[in-house]
Structure 1
Amino acid sequence: MIPKSIIEAIVDQYAQPLEGRHGLSHWARVLENGRLLAKRTDADLTVVELFSVFHDAGRQNEAFDPDHGARGAELARQFHKEGLLTLTDRQLALLTLACETHTDGLITGDLTVRVCWDSDRLDLGRAGIRPALGLLCTGAARDSEVMEWASERSLSGHLPDLLSSEWGIHLKEEQSA
């Protein structure tokens, strides 16, 4: 579980609308996608969970922002240096790599990084994009039931319960994409 202090610190510096396409409900769906995929693989759950909140945390706009992943990775490094994140060197390297490269369309590499990418790609429905089967990196993400489950939630703007139960945040229901 992601400590509430990390969520609060990310939210405090986030420059975009919390209700936006790349905001809190997206992070929460990515988290739930990642938890599901991590259960079905040997991915490092800590890294997968943290990816969900750092990968878009450095966005400067809701449109084309090619350096947002690198900014999210740098934020993770900063939090680690300040002691807010306690990770092994390997975990920090995996987290920052996953953030920096999550929009590059890569499909090979470390299993944990691939699970991170898949957890985000499974939520592309919010932007009107159906995840391409060939761009999903793991068998767990390519499972038709997982794809359908994630797609329905993404398209409907589902607000996961963890927003309030784990993060103490209450948002209004989103409009369908």
Structure 2
Amino acid sequence: MTHEPALLLQEILRGYALPWDGHHGVVHWARVLENGLQVAARHGGDTEVVMLFALFHDACRVNEHIDAGHGTRGGELARSLRGTLVHLDDARFDLLYAACALHTDGHTTGDPTMLACWDADRLDLGRVGIQPKPELLCTDTARELLPWAHERATSDHVPTDVLASWGMTRGLLPRW
């Protein structure tokens, strides 16, 4: 069974507490997806889990600053949608959940899928004025992608193709 990203995004945004266009909002999620797909393609990783991570990792934040537990809450949201909008076997779901729950803990070793997820998020730190440190990235692939990703993050690059595939227009207005 395939995932319907537009339906997933619609459900996530129903309960999203922050502005859709904020530092941890939909454009960030779209850049995380693009970053993660690049890392997974070169380093390895489950691209379906990477896509779901992009949508869920910050989906349950309640503020734009330090928000302890938001990754675990995102994993719990994904769990609540298992069988309806999230279709992963137990092992792959466990990867998604752990990637979300641990994404702010600074880990740099582990399963290739989790590393792709964590690097994908860290590569977008420029959006909040932080230059990612190469030694805190998980993979050589992410270190190679750092200049490309950092330029996109600091210039507020909007991944319009990803947003369109998620049912959103350039102005972040849903088409649903």
| TM-score (structure 1 length as normaliser) | 0.91
Q: Which residue of 1 aligns with 2:160?
A: 161
Q: Which residue of 1 aligns with 2:143?
A: 142
Q: Which residue of 1 aligns with 2:9?
A: 7
Distance 1:6 1:66 in 2: 24
Q: Which residue of 2 aligns with 1:85?
A: 86
- Deviation readout 1:120-162 (Å, 9 max, x if unpaired): 000000010011111100111011xx11110011001111012
AA matched with 1:150: A
- Deviation readout 1:86-131 (Å, 9 max, x if unpaired): 1011110000000000000110111110110000000000010011
Distance 1:58 1:3 in 2: 17
Whether the 8 Å CA contact 1:30–1:52 is kept in 2: the answer is yes
> Structure 2 residue aligned with 1:23, among 25, 31, 36?
25
Whether the 8 Å CA contact 2:160–2:170 is kept in 1: the answer is no
Whether the 8 Å CA contact 2:108–2:137 is kept in 1: the answer is yes
| TM-score (structure 2 length as normaliser) | 0.92
AA matched with 2:79: R
Q: Which residue of 2 aligns with 1:69?
A: 71
The two structures, once aligned, show a CA RMSD in angstroms of: 1.4
**Unmatched 5+ residue regions in structure 2?**
none
Percent sequence identity over aligned pairs: 49
Residues 160 and 2 of structure 1, relative CA distance in 2, 3 Å threshold:
farther
Compute the displacement of 1:172 (Å): 4.1
Pairs within 5 Å for 1:85-124: 85-124=86-125
Distance 1:89 1:164 in 2: 28
Runs of 4+ in structure 1 deviating by more than 3 angstroms, as ranges, are: none
**Unmatched 5+ residue regions in structure 1?**
none
Count of aligned positions: 170
AA matched with 2:165: E
Residues 43 and 164 of structure 1, relative CA distance in 2, 3 Å threshold:
closer
Distance 1:124 1:60 in 2: 18
Whether the 8 Å CA contact 1:163–1:170 is kept in 2: the answer is no
Residues 59 and 171 of structure 1, relative CA distance in 2, 3 Å threshold:
farther
